Amino acid sequence: MPQPSPASAATSFHVPSLITRIVDGRVAAAGAGHQMRIVNPADESALTVLVEDDAAAVDEAVRSARAAFDTGPWPRLPLATKRRIMGQVRDTILAHAEELAYLDCLDTGIPLWDIRGRKMSRIADNFQFAMDIANTLSGETYQQNEQYLSLVTHSPVGVAAILAPWNSPMSLASMQIAPCIAFGNTCVIKPSEFTPLSVFRLVQLMHEAGLPPGVVNLVNGRGTVTGAALASHPGIDLVKFTGGTATGKRIMAAASGGLKKVGLELGGKSANIILEDANFDAALTGALLSIFSNNGQQCLAGSRILVQRPIADRFIAAFVERVKQIKVGDPLAPDTEIGPMAFREHYERVLSYVDIAREDGAQILVGGTRAPGFDKGYYFLPTAVLAPDNQARVCRDEIFAPFATFLIFDTEEEAIAIANDSDFGLVGYVWTQDVTKAMGISQRINAGTILINTSMVREVRAPFGGFKQSGIGRDGLRGTVEFFTEPRTTTIPLGPVTMRPIGTGQAPS
Ligand code: NAD
């Protein structure tokens, strides 16, 4: 059974006692806004206090971004200057990687080693990567006939609202902020009200690194208050949202008034198909990683594990044995594999799915309770259930937790049908040693990313996004250009042109 980890020896850093908005490069004073206590999910202690931004505060932030875009230097800076500043941002993040990782860990409960080792370099590199795309962005030319030449150039769109979730606050915020500003846009970012700490520090550091004021502004608060005011603000030109599907629908409705450009990166309930001829050990480790990484709180989790009948009993038994060995504990401890759920309401929702699973006839194979040995904190035992069929709610709903659901199938056709019988379409996993079979199945799964014989690899240049209710639009090289720039077609004659003599009394010929 998992045991509480010993007291951590991780270096601690200063935690700001108040989280307020950052507008025009300045951290705002507390003001009289609604205050929220931000809690450490590992021990339920108070970490800091967030001061919520109301519609007036959001308006102030949007005005700052608007001024920076309409009249400020940022969209007009030479590429070389922008590149230098983005490089400084990257270097500053790397120089403060320990501190940022610590803050993110305290806030989210994600193991520190994971944020420090896997995420921080990616977060810093996002700024370099986005600038590389902007730096090499070229236009197009068209020539329908010899008389006219048309040029297509890319302009920034304007002011973006970036709404980010709590499961990986800095990674997901930086993944959008970086391309947004690299192409010359400005933005207002709102992190999740449950995990505001690391993004607050990140935005501060971006200014310390030399980002001009107004280019990136930060507001804080609940989605229904601050987020809604931001998504519907008339000064916003585009809304990039990463979060739940239900919220995505609300955001789209809010943004529709001003016909804003909307990009949605939403939820998933991805099928992980394990065929009888898979490399058993690799598929086992891969299945464990794709549901239990990041405390199970990840959009691309392989949360429906579909196993072919001849290997099902053996595979499920081996999976359960491994789950029993997973170390649940203090996210600061170096040997912790799964930390606490990020906040109380989420933890309680996750627990409720154990009863829902039972009600629907699923069998609890392992876990399904609070992790023993903890007086405080939102610790949930890694869990696996066997569902009676794909209609069970544990197969339909995104639980967003270390909660795996098994289904057993007989034929490939059946596996494909089950994989596609979902409102979501973010990722699909296939495990088999038969390459032809793998390719055939992969091309019939309706999901934006297919991973064959691997748990989780994100090729950052390739499109990433969802089919169906998993989203609209794509991240990646081309996707960010499409979202964060507007193409402008300019047409010019290449010599004297003859125009119809309208209004001269001459008959058109
Ligand atoms: P969420 O939808 O509750 O919140 C996301 C953000 O939207 C938060 O900042 C929240 O305050 C804000 N928000 C909530 N209601 C709003 C409203 N009415 N108007 C404007 N803003 C509002 O999502 P979450 O619980 O923070 O994150 C988990 C979800 O995110 C999961 O469904 C997960 O799959 C998804 N996700 C998707 C991706 C992806 O790339 N596809 C990546 C990570 C997470």
Q: Is the beta carbon of 231 within 6 A of some atom in ligand 1?
A: yes
Domain harbouring 415, CATH code:
3.40.309.10
Residue 77 CB neighbour total at 10 angstroms: 16
> Would you state the pLDDT for residue 144?
85
Model confidence at 4: pLDDT above 80: no
Same domain, yes or no: 173 and 291: no
Provide, rounded to the nearest whole percent, the portion of the chain with pLDDT above 70.
98
Model confidence at 8: pLDDT above 60: no
Please check whether residue 29 lies inside any domain of the structure.
yes
Half-sphere exposure of 366 (CA within 13 A, CB side): 22
Rounded CA-CA distance 483/355 in Å is 42
Same domain, yes or no: 161 and 206: yes
Give the DSSP per-residue string, 6-54.
PPP-PPP----SEE--EETTEEPP-TT--EEEEE-TTT--EEEEEEPP-
Query: 265 an active-site residue?
Result: yes
Q: Please report which confidence band the pLDDT of residue 9 belongs to, taking 50, 70 and 90 as the band edges.
A: low
Please check whether residue 509 lies inside any domain of the structure.
no
Model confidence at 2: pLDDT above 60: no
Ligand 1: atom nearest CA of 426 is 41
Domain harbouring 245, CATH code:
3.40.605.10
Same domain, yes or no: 242 and 280: no
Adjacency order of strands within the sheet including 271-274: 363-366, 383-386, 403-409, 304-308, 271-274, 427-431, 449-452
Rounded CA-CA distance 200/465 in Å is 26
Alpha helix positions (H), 137-268: 169-182, 197-208, 228-231, 245-256
Q: From the CA of 332, how far away is ligand 1's center (Å)?
A: 25
* Contacts for 39 with CB less than 8 Å, ≥ 6 apart: 45, 46, 47, 343, 344
Same domain, yes or no: 158 and 247: yes
Mutate to test the pocket of ligand 1, among 53, 163, 240 (most ligand atoms within 8 A of CB): 163
Q: Is the beta carbon of 378 within 6 A of some atom in ligand 1?
A: no
Q: From the CA of 135, how far away is ligand 1's center (Å)?
A: 31
Residue 328 CB neighbour total at 10 angstroms: 26
Please check whether residue 464 lies inside any domain of the structure.
no
pLDDT digits (tens, 9 = 90+) for 313-371: 999 999 999 999 999 999 999 999 999 999 999 999 999 999 999 999 999 999 999 99
Residues 50-72 have a mean pLDDT of 98
Same domain, yes or no: 276 and 226: no
Q: Annotated catalytic residue: which of 105, 180, 187, 299? A: 299
Mutate to test the pocket of ligand 1, among 192, 195, 265, 399 (most ligand atoms within 8 A of CB): 192
Q: For residue 208, give both structure tokens.
A: 């310390």
Residues 104-110 have a mean pLDDT of 98
> Would you state the pLDDT for residue 1?
37
Model confidence at 212: pLDDT above 70: yes
Rounded CA-CA distance 366/25 in Å is 49
Please check whether residue 68 lies inside any domain of the structure.
yes
Same domain, yes or no: 376 and 346: yes
Model confidence at 221: pLDDT above 90: yes
Residues 385-394 have a mean pLDDT of 98
Same domain, yes or no: 258 and 275: no
Model confidence at 6: pLDDT above 70: no
- pTM equals 0.96
Same domain, yes or no: 207 and 284: no
Structural domain boundaries enclosing 380: 271-452
Residue of 9 and 280 predicted with greater confidence: 280
Mutate to test the pocket of ligand 1, among 108, 126, 167 (most ligand atoms within 8 A of CB): 167
Q: From the CA of 428, how far away is ligand 1's center (Å)?
A: 21
Please check whether residue 278 lies inside any domain of the structure.
yes
Rounded CA-CA distance 165/241 in Å is 9
| Domains identified in the chain, total number | 2
Ligand 1: atom nearest CA of 221 is 11
Please check whether residue 503 lies inside any domain of the structure.
no
Q: Which residue in 114, 119, 443, 467 sits closest to 270, CA to CA? A: 467
Using CA of residue 277, residue 279, residue 283, residue 284, what is the dihedral sign?
positive
Please check whether residue 465 lies inside any domain of the structure.
no
Please check whether residue 507 lies inside any domain of the structure.
no
Q: From the CA of 213, how far away is ligand 1's center (Å)?
A: 27
Same domain, yes or no: 78 and 207: yes
Residues 20-37 have a mean pLDDT of 95
Q: Is the beta carbon of 398 within 6 A of some atom in ligand 1?
A: yes
Residues 99-120 have a mean pLDDT of 97
> Would you state the pLDDT for residue 358?
98
Same domain, yes or no: 446 and 481: no
Rounded CA-CA distance 437/351 in Å is 38
Same domain, yes or no: 253 and 291: no
Q: Please report which confidence band the pLDDT of residue 508 belongs to, taking 50, 70 and 90 as the band edges.
A: confident
Same domain, yes or no: 240 and 360: no
Mean pLDDT of all residues belonging to the chain:
96
Q: For residue 325, give both structure tokens.
A: 């060995």
270: phi > 0 → left, psi -120 to 50 → alpha, else beta; which?
Answer: beta
Model confidence at 23: pLDDT above 80: yes
Q: Annotated catalytic residue: which of 105, 187, 193, 265? A: 265
pLDDT digits (tens, 9 = 90+) for 125-162: 999 999 999 999 999 999 988 899 999 999 999 999 99
